[in-house]
């Protein structure tokens, strides 16, 4: 019977709870101290899908100095948080467009403004979004996949899917979006849609989305910082209990 600790590869730094992330790195510590630990961690680096965790494993379990690992990890933090912030901005723009029944071309212009160079051509993506409404109805496109809104999706694909929702709501009403929502992974989007369908005041929705976005980013940074310190503790060969103390420092009830 295999009693070796194992790692969960299907992780998401945005959605994973703080204690769950702490448990992951404590598992890494246990593995690191086993005979086959180094090999297992190398396999994890090759297969891990979560970009921040994969980067942290890669730079920490290398010959790089702890000082350089910290520096590189902070650069990665800024890079990933910038990408998450931009994607949340895209989602927020789409939600407010649905709330205001805004012209989708205006919505697209606002989205493109978030990038130094627009990632999509306006005419092309608008035509694709319009076509998707009919294609999904005819079941030529899997709505369970296309309907998902998620921060891990590439910017171009995320913009296309969001424009689909904006167009659908403008043509057929907000209720027309409801059948797609069970396939959405983003809590930020689904909670925003719930506010829209419950007919909350536009100013309230705007403030609520801004506060929620701010808290998502703040929480994600805290988890990233904890992961970095725990991983550096493993690299510096601290004891298990000492690494656990690092984790508890980030937990308000520990």
| Average pLDDT rounded to a whole number, residues 245-251 | 96
**DSSP label of 119:** S
Separation CA 76–CA 80 (nearest Å): 6
pLDDT for residue 8: 54
pLDDT at 1 over 50: no
| Average pLDDT rounded to a whole number, residues 1-15 | 60
Contact 231, 57 (CB under 8 A): yes
The string of pLDDT tens digits covering residues 110-138 is 999 999 999 999 999 999 999 999 999 89
Packing angle of the helix pair 202-235, 187-197 (nearest 10 deg): 170
pLDDT for residue 4: 43
pLDDT for residue 31: 87
pLDDT for residue 39: 81
DSSP H stretches of helix in 101-201:
104-112, 122-137, 143-146, 155-172, 187-197
Contact 246, 230 (CB under 8 A): yes
**Percent share of the chain, pLDDT over 70:** 96
CA torsion angle 111 114 119 123 (round to 10): 30
pLDDT for residue 33: 84
CA 232 from chain centre, in angstroms, equals 24
The string of pLDDT tens digits covering residues 24-41 is 999 999 988 887 777 878
Closest CA to 104 of 88, 118, 123: 123
As a whole number, the mean pLDDT across the chain is: 91
Structural domain boundaries in the chain: 18-79+217-240, 85-214
pLDDT for residue 5: 45
């Amino acid at each position: 019977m295999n009693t070796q600790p194992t790692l969960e590869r299907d992780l998401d730094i945005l959605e994973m709870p703080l204690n769950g992330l702490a448990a992951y790195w404590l598992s890494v510590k246990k593995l690191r101290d086993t005979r086959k630990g180094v090999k297992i961690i190398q396999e994890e680096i090759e297969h891990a899908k979560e970009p921040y965790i994969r980067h942290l494993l890669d730079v920490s379990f290398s010959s790089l100095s702890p000082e350089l690992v910290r520096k590189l990890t902070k650069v990665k933090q800024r890079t990933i948080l910038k990408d998450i912030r931009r994607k949340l901005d895209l989602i927020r723009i789409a939600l407010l467009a649905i709330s205001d029944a805004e012209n989708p071309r205006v919505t697209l212009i606002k989205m493109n403004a978030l990038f130094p160079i627009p990632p999509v051509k306006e005419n092309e993506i608008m035509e694709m979004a319009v076509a998707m409404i009919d294609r999904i109805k005819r079941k030529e496109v899997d709505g369970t996949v296309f309907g998902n809104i998620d921060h891990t999706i590439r910017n171009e694909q995320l913009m296309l899917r969001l424009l689909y929702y904006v167009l659908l709501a403008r043509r057929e009403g907000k209720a027309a979006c409801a059948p797609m929502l069970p396939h959405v992974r983003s809590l930020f989007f689904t909670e925003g849609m719930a506010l829209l369908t419950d007919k909350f005041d536009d100013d309230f929705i705007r403030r609520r989305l801004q506060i929620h976005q701010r808290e998502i980013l703040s929480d994600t940074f805290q988890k990233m910082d904890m992961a970095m310190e725990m991983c550096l503790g493993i690299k510096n060969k601290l004891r298990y209990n000492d690494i656990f103390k690092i984790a508890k420092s980030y937990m308000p009830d520990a």
